[in-house]
């Protein structure tokens, strides 16, 4: 069995004459944790839609978990992919446990006439505890902090025990403390499930967890650099990607970006 989880080969995506992805090649292996970065409009969301089995390429091939997009039933494939989106709509007065259970049905609401088994409920409770929400399974969604909601959505994405986890700007809307708690959770889950592969999309290097192993920089639909994170996330390559001088540093396993231009004090 191959350990290649994702493979994009000469992928183009064209919509209404606009080239959203332009000859993209990418290979992601089991247990790797990728960061996908680039400015607004670079094609990150389009790429995430492909690897999440949500859309098809215009040209080229996309293989996800050993299945080729266009030759497989997408709904079945999506059940093997966990997707964390902080904009996920929660409808109705649900508890944390009920929100996580909707990951089993792939819905926004608990399904009528569907009742989880005792084993499923126990699995959900264990996930909630492992992700830092011990004692909060019965708490209403409406009273959760943004950080707690983020961790609950990670639990929802993991409830089907996927091989691939996609995180779409998971720190959006979080304050600094909540962001750090969320990133600690991401680092922790990679310890709990070492074979889990992940792709995290963000605009900000400060939102990358310590466990990030690889990175891809995307600009105007083309990959600027791809490979091990320390080789890709450099001052030169990040500056080229964002078309602005940006100084990159790494401290205690985390990346930091600052302006590459010297500031002068007013006289």
Q: pLDDT per residue over 94-122, tens digit each?
A: 999 999 999 988 877 776 677 889 999 99
The DSSP 8-state label assigned to residue 206 in this structure reads G
CB of 61 closer than 8 Å to CB of 72: no
Q: pLDDT tier at 213 (50, 70, 90 boundaries)?
A: very high
Q: Are residues 62 and 169 in the same domain?
A: yes
Do the domain assignments include residue 33?
Answer: yes
pLDDT in tens, 40-77: 999 999 999 999 999 999 999 999 999 999 999 888 89
**What is the structure's pLDDT at 89?**
86
The token duo for 187 is 């680092």
**22-36 pLDDT per residue, tens:** 999 999 999 999 999
In the chain the first and final C-alpha atoms are separated, in Å, by 66
Strands 214-219 and 33-37: parallel
Tell me the two tokens of residue 218. Answer: 């995307």
Q: Is residue 86 part of a domain?
A: no
Same domain for 174 and 144: no
Establish if 114 belongs to a structural domain. yes
Identify the domain containing residue 127 by its residue range.
91-161
Between residues 165 and 193, the one the model is more confident about: 165
Say how far apart CA 193 and CA 203 lie, in whole Å: 26
Question: Are 208 and 35 a contacting pair, CB within 8 Å?
Answer: yes
**pTM to 2 decimal places:** 0.91
Mean pLDDT of 252-267: 71
Assess if residue 85 is contained within a domain.
Answer: no
Query: For position 263, what pLDDT does the model report?
Result: 45
Our count of domains for the chain comes to 2
- One domain for residues 214 and 251: yes
- The pLDDT score that the predictor gives to residue 173 is 86
228 and 172 part of one domain: yes
What's the pLDDT score for residue 261? 65
């Amino acid at each position: 069995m191959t350990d290649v989880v994702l493979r994009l080969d000469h992928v183009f995506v064209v919509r209404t004459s606009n080239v959203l992805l332009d000859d993209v090649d990418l290979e992601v292996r089991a247990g790797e944790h990728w960061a996908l970065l680039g400015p607004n409009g670079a094609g990150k969301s389009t790429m995430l839609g492909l690897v999440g089995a949500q859309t098809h390429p215009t040209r080229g091939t996309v293989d996800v978990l050993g299945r080729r997009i266009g030759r497989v039933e997408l709904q079945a494939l999506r059940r093997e992919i966990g997707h964390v989106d902080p904009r996920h709509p929660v409808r109705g007065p649900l508890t944390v446990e009920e929100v996580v259970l909707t990951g089993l049905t792939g819905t926004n609401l608990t399904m009528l006439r569907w009742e989880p088994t005792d084993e499923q409920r126990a699995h959900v409770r264990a996930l909630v505890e492992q992700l830092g929400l011990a004692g909060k399974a019965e708490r209403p969604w409406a009273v959760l902090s943004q950080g707690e909601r983020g961790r609950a959505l990670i639990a929802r994405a993991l409830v089907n025990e996927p091989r691939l986890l996609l995180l779409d700007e998971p720190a959006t809307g979080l304050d600094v403390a909540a962001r750090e708690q969320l990133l600690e959770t991401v680092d922790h889950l990679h310890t709990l499930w070492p074979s889990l592969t992940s792709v995290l999309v963000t605009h900000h290097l400060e939102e990358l967890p310590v466990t990030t192993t690889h990175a891809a920089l995307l600009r105007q639909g083309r990959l600027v650099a791809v490979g091990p994170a320390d080789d890709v996330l450099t001052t030169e390559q990040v500056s080229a990607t964002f078309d602005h001088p940006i100084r990159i540093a790494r401290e205690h396993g985390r990346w930091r970006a600052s302006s590459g231009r010297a500031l002068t004090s007013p006289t």
